[in-house]
Amino acid sequence: MGKPLRSPGSLWPAAILLGLAAGLAHAAPPPPLDVVVLGSGGPGATGRASSSYIVRLDGMPRILVDAGSGAFVRLGEAQLPLDGLDVILLTHLHVDHAAELPGIIKARAVSAGHPITFQVYGPPGHPAHGDVPSFPSTTRFMDLLFGRAGAFAYLKDFAAPITFRVVNLPAYQAAPNLPAATALSAAGLDIRAVPGHHGDAPAVIYRIDHGGRSVVFSGDIDPAGLPALGAISQGADLLVFNCVVLDPPGSPAVLYELHSPPRDIGAVAEGAHVGRVLLSHLSPAVESHESEVSASIAAHYPGPVTYAHDGMRVIP
């Protein structure tokens, strides 16, 4: 006689175990902190959106870091829920870091339908002097956009009542030991900031800690801002460093008054003992010389270095 047929009941334990395993895998908790790159480029129209990032906390998009040109489209492509996005960190107010803010705020309001309070942090301003143009403070910038007489005043009540709580962070001082200011500390989230230095544009460097993980955003900084960056980056899991120029003399001299070269990036990353480096705000020069840039950084920093692209997700 042949083997007896196995009853359906004898198959259930294996099926149940497989189903439970699949369910447990599907239900794995999200990382406490990860970064979605909306824009990895600079001011040029090179096929990349300009600088912009979403930081997710426990899987929920909560923090917008910069809002450069093209970020609005990339945000839609990422298909991220926006109902928890309520913190905005602006590294500085150049157009390739702030131009898309009205569109993203409108998208957030349209997705909500209920009152929203945005907590906005950014640099102070300064008046014009000599050949140096003026820069508005972050409070003034937001008022110019969304205040009662602002360019987009209608947005404050267009889809949902919006309130802005705006903070101007401290200005740069030639004091490398300047302590990091706490911008926000609540429910396990800690955001600290120090002044950066980006030519005549007031700038801010941010560090975000949550769930035992950390990420630092350099923004655009010239060499004068490196000591502050090194101090706030100590032990960070991820350093997002804006990489625009080649080592001298590979880029126009004027750009070194605004940006730090790869050899400095490597030195800061090594001195701060960061876990990994993500190069962003990439220029065509850097894109076409990746091997030289990587070698320059590796001469000081032995850790992993990755080049950002729009839509990338990075877990520190």
The pLDDT of residue 175: 53
Residue (of 200, 193, 195) closest to 172 by Cα position: 195
**Tokens describing residue 214:** 């950390």
Query: Per-residue pLDDT for the chain (316 aa), expressed as one digit of tens each?
Result: 444 433 334 444 554 445 545 555 566 889 999 999 999 999 888 899 999 999 999 999 999 999 999 999 999 999 999 999 999 999 999 999 999 999 999 999 998 778 999 999 999 987 777 776 788 999 999 999 999 999 999 988 888 899 999 999 987 765 555 666 777 888 789 999 999 988 888 999 999 999 999 999 999 999 999 999 999 999 999 999 999 999 999 999 988 888 999 999 999 999 999 999 999 999 999 999 999 999 999 999 999 999 999 999 999 9
Under 8 Å CB-to-CB from 194, ≥6 apart: which residues?
A: 178, 179, 180, 181, 204, 205, 228, 229, 231, 232
- CA–CA dist 121, 218 (Å, integer): 15
Which CA distances in Å does 227 have to 33, 216, 223? Answer: 26, 14, 8
How far from each other are the two terminal CA atoms of the chain, in whole angstroms? 62
- CA–CA dist 137, 126 (Å, integer): 7
Could you tell me if 44 and 69 are in contact, meaning their C-beta atoms sit under 8 angstroms apart? no
Q: What is the dihedral of CA 297, 293, 172, 146, to 10 degrees?
A: -130
| CB-based burial label for 47 (10 Å; 0-12, 13-18, 19+) | exposed
The pLDDT of residue 185: 81
Domains in the chain, CATH or no CATH each: 30-314 (3.60.15.10)
Under 8 Å CB-to-CB from 20, ≥6 apart: which residues?
A: none
